Amino acid sequence: MSHQEHPFAPFVRILGKGKKGSRSLTREEAEEAMAMILDQQVTPEQLGAFLMLLRVKEESPEELSGFITAVQAQMSVPTNLRADLDWSTYAGKKRQLPWFFLAALVLSEQGVRVCMHGARGHTPGRLYIADLLGHFGLKAAANWLDAELDLNETGFCYLPLEMLSAELARIIDLRPVLGLRSPVHTLSRLLNPLNAPFRIDGVFHPAYGPMHQQTAFQLGQNNSVTVRGEGGEAEIRPDADCSLQWVRQGQYVDQEWPRLHDQRHIRPDSMDPKDLLRVWRGQLAHPYGEAAVCETLAVCLLLLQRVDSVASARLLAESMWQERNNSRY
């Protein structure tokens, strides 16, 4: 066994040198460390230690920015492939159906090219967007050509994390092994693979909202919003106030989105993905779901600068929902 220090060991030492000796990585150090991880130049022991030390410390915006820059450098996205709105979905839903998906489809009907990306299965008992695409006659892209065709034909594409980075997908699936989420859950939300000018993502824990906001700013994502929404996804709860952390034209803005309904809705006993399609087609009335769609759509309209107030956003969102093409799917 060689006693020469492994090239990745300094990054573990920086994070784990005790209360007084440890510190966060610089953006440059984080980028170098993530590049080594993606190239599989670290041992399993180092990777586990690195991820969990970051988890205990909580990743900084500088670290996240460095990680994301390293991932983006390896994605090889075609230069002519573009989207208007980046929408990340990594939490999955366990209490309510993913109503935000219908908001994305409404936007795609209105000429907004929506790139949604996510992962599935890393947390048991949750419903992921990849699980319901087939009900709408959609599919996850297998490559960049698929993504381009989907965007051109429907205005919507879904990119699975394994397509963006096989190594990140492998690491995110370590959650049952490690027992905790890792920084990959955070950095994946902020990847913006097609460099869309507008971006939306969701968080569950309050502390992560400002972290996402500051990271987006550092990455030059100057029109973005992080929603502390239902189940950790970018979905407004119509029966609760929701915190929004914006980067608006390069400026930080914090907002409390006012609840639409004063009375809390009863949580459903089960979730049937086919109900999303039934609601889209007008075959099923769902007061909570339709309100969640419209409220989430309203936030997107503000993000896209189609309106300039909550009231006007709500009016336009309701109109767009009522005028959707019920027979599209």
The confidence score (pLDDT) of residue 1 equals: 61
Residue 3 belongs to a domain: no
User: Do 290 and 317 reside in the same domain of the chain?
Assistant: yes
Distance CA 295, CA 311 (A): 11
> Nearest Cα to 97, choosing from 308, 301, 284, 275?
275
User: Do 316 and 199 reside in the same domain of the chain?
Assistant: yes
pLDDT at 121 exceeding the cut of 80: no
Per-residue pLDDT reduced to its tens digit, 277-294: 999 999 999 999 999 999
Residue 177 belongs to a domain: yes
Computed over every residue of the chain, the mean pLDDT equals 95
pLDDT at 122 exceeding the cut of 80: no
User: Do 26 and 126 reside in the same domain of the chain?
Assistant: no
Average pLDDT over residues 152-179: 94
User: Do 63 and 154 reside in the same domain of the chain?
Assistant: no
Q: What is the DSSP string of 231-281?
A: GGSS---TTS-EEEEEEETTEEEEEEEPPS-SSPPPPPS---THHHHHHHT
Bigger pLDDT: 247 or 270?
A: 247
pLDDT at 38 exceeding the cut of 70: yes
Task: Tell me which of 73, 98, 119 is where a domain ends.
Answer: 73
User: Do 43 and 146 reside in the same domain of the chain?
Assistant: no
The confidence score (pLDDT) of residue 20 equals: 85
The confidence score (pLDDT) of residue 142 equals: 97
CATH code where residue 123 lies = 3.40.1030.10
Tell me the percentage of the chain whose pLDDT exceeds 90: 88
Per-residue pLDDT reduced to its tens digit, 240-257: 999 999 999 889 999 999
User: Do 64 and 92 reside in the same domain of the chain?
Assistant: no
The confidence score (pLDDT) of residue 60 equals: 96
Residue 192 belongs to a domain: yes
User: Do 61 and 170 reside in the same domain of the chain?
Assistant: no
Bigger pLDDT: 224 or 18?
A: 224
pLDDT band at 123 (very low <50, low <70, confident <90, very high): confident
User: Do 47 and 145 reside in the same domain of the chain?
Assistant: no
Residue 139 belongs to a domain: yes
Per-residue pLDDT reduced to its tens digit, 85-102: 999 999 999 999 999 999
The confidence score (pLDDT) of residue 292 equals: 97
The confidence score (pLDDT) of residue 3 equals: 79
User: Do 50 and 105 reside in the same domain of the chain?
Assistant: no
pLDDT at 266 exceeding the cut of 80: no
CATH code where residue 63 lies = 1.20.970.10
Task: Tell me which of 50, 73, 96 is where a domain ends.
Answer: 73
pLDDT at 181 exceeding the cut of 90: no
Range of the domain at 304: 85-322
Q: Please say whether the beta carbons of 137 and 154 come within 8 A.
A: no
Quick one: how many helices (H) and strands (E) in the chain? 15, 7
User: Do 177 and 268 reside in the same domain of the chain?
Assistant: yes
pLDDT at 2 exceeding the cut of 70: no
Inter-helix orientation angle 44-57/9-16, to 10°: 30
> Nearest Cα to 258, choosing from 284, 239, 272?
239
Residue 79 belongs to a domain: no
Q: Give the count of domains, the chain.
A: 2
Residue 49 belongs to a domain: yes
Residue 2 belongs to a domain: no
pLDDT band at 219 (very low <50, low <70, confident <90, very high): very high
Average pLDDT over residues 122-143: 92
Task: Tell me which of 73, 106, 123 is where a domain ends.
Answer: 73
Counting Cβ atoms within 10 Å, is residue 285 exposed (0-12), middle (13-18) or buried (19+)? exposed
Residue 105 belongs to a domain: yes
Per-residue pLDDT reduced to its tens digit, 14-30: 999 988 899 999 999 99
User: Do 63 and 91 reside in the same domain of the chain?
Assistant: no
Q: Please say whether the beta carbons of 244 and 254 come within 8 A.
A: yes
User: Do 64 and 98 reside in the same domain of the chain?
Assistant: no
pLDDT at 314 exceeding the cut of 80: yes
